[in-house]
Amino acid sequence: MSPFWIVIRQLAEIEAMALSKKVITREEWEKKLNDVKIRKEDMNKLVMNFLVTEGYVDAAEKFRMESGTEQIADIDLATITDRMAVKKAVQCGNVEDAIEKVNDLNPEILDTNPQLFFHLQQQRLIELIRNGKVEEALEFAQEELAPRGEENQSFLEELERTVALLAFEDVSNCPVGDLLDISQRLKTASEVNAAILTSQSHEKDPKLPSLLKMLVWAQNQLDEKAAYPRINNLSTATLEDPAV
């Protein structure tokens, strides 16, 4: 073996040693975890934030009574009920009803948010097509949606895609069939939900899921440097012994 290759091999060995991970035992880890102090009220607020944002009114009300946690960001629990009614209406395909409810809640939302307004009208068109009301659908597309398409190029493209549904005999098996999917309704519903939350000066996403994302990210970072008791199952949050 030439001296060159010997040097390379030695370098590789040194690198491998440097890469060998530090092992942290369960005892050490739990001790470290116990040193972190988290206030109970903060945990409660986090849970309350999740319940309110996701619209679990009854649970939020019960949780408030049991934990004594005040409502956050001045959100009136009654407005959650209104917001959920709108969301539910879209999820069930009663888009017109949803629009009226949003307008009662706050007429500014749809007047100042052309994209959301278009998506609701588009969902209305999708529902008409789903129910086989072809003539009504065409009239609606012409009267209500075409002018919005003239105002905005990307709306026009979406409108064309939606109207294309009418061209297929078997919509379940066509390139734009996804529009008829339940996921389309859910997408529209969550867009309305977010807009109402924003109009109430409330964050549109709960904090809990992003904290969990941060946990997963931090564990992945740590995996490169150390072996430690990991949380693999987020719903039980049990610590699993490091594989050494």
Contacting positions for another protein (CB under 8 A): 73-74, 94, 96-97, 99-100, 103-104, 106-108, 110-115, 117, 136, 139-140, 143-144, 147, 151-154, 198-199, 201-203
User: CB–CB of 137/129 below 8 Å?
Assistant: yes
3-state helix, strand, coil in the chain (%, to 5): 70, 5, 25
Which phi and psi angles does 22 have, rounded to 5°? -75, 140
User: CB–CB of 215/33 below 8 Å?
Assistant: no
Among 236, 190, 237, CA closest to 215? 237
| Cβ nearer to another protein, comparing 85 with 180 | 85
User: CB 200 → another protein: shortest distance, Å?
Assistant: 8
Q: DSSP labels for 27-38? A: HHHHHHHHHS--
3-class SS of residue 129? helix
User: CB 177 → another protein: shortest distance, Å?
Assistant: 25
| Cβ nearer to another protein, comparing 61 with 97 | 97
| Cβ nearer to another protein, comparing 86 with 229 | 86
User: CB 58 → another protein: shortest distance, Å?
Assistant: 23
User: CB 99 → another protein: shortest distance, Å?
Assistant: 6
- CA 196 to CA 200: how far, in whole Å? 6
User: CB 6 → another protein: shortest distance, Å?
Assistant: 45
| Cβ nearer to another protein, comparing 76 with 241 | 76
3-class SS of residue 118? helix
| Cβ nearer to another protein, comparing 85 with 176 | 85
